[in-house]
Amino acid sequence: MSATPCSRCSEPQAAFHCGLCGVAICKACREYVDPTIFSYFLKKPAELAKSDYCHGCYDAKVAPRRAEYEALLEKAEDIYFLTKNYPGYVRVLRRHTKRVVVPECADRRETILRMAFVAAELGFNAIIEADVESQKVRNGGFQSSVWKGSAMPALIDGDQLERSSLRRI
């Protein structure tokens, strides 16, 4: 423990320091952010990479980014997912120039959600021509799967897609 007092409540021994401004804070005054919260960002911003913040820095920098992140995550859950083997016609209004690649994930759903999050972050409403596959990994006596995927973010006509899907039922 350090001998510096807390900058907020003047606790005689502050055990933590703010990740952004560096002021000393005690356990009661710190805002802890779990490092896995912003895990869907491909490149996590430097200001979100720390785990301990003072209230001022948290309210000014982290809380707005966290609200933005959660809104993007909600939007990502509503993105259309079409595999490369999709049999129907899809009207593509605009397409991104590069494919989104997710190298390693624990399961299929997380792989798709990570690709959808990137598409939502870029302003698209679908991931098309998606290719999601698993690979078996042996670790001593255990076996597990590692998932990887790639897809093209695109802006599609969602109403047309839903109408054509309903006709096939």
Closest CA to 81 of 41, 112, 106, 111: 112
> Does residue 2 register a pLDDT over 60?
no
The stretch 30-50 carries a mean pLDDT of 86
The pLDDT confidence band at residue 90, using thresholds 50, 70 and 90, is confident
Task: Give the per-residue pLDDT at 168.
Answer: 53
98 and 143 in a single domain? The answer is yes
- SS3 at position 113: helix
What's the pTM? Answer: 0.83
28 and 60 in a single domain? The answer is yes
Task: Give the per-residue pLDDT at 41.
Answer: 84
Using DSSP bridges, classify how beta strands 80-83 and 126-139 pair: parallel, antiparallel or unpaired: parallel
Mean of pLDDT over the chain: 88
Scan for tokens 């009661």, then name that residue. 28
How many domains does the chain divide into? Answer: 2
Domain that holds residue 129: 79-167
The stretch 144-160 carries a mean pLDDT of 93
- How far is the C-alpha of 25 from the C-alpha of 30, rounded, in Å? 6
Q: Which residues of 55-73 are buried (b: 16+ CB within 10 A; e: fewer)?
A: eebbeebbeeeeeebeebe
68 and 127 in a single domain? The answer is no
Q: What is the pLDDT of residues 55-65, one digit of tens each?
A: 888 999 999 99
Task: Give the per-residue pLDDT at 167.
Answer: 57
- How far is the C-alpha of 56 from the C-alpha of 53, rounded, in Å? 8
Is 2 a member of any domain?
no
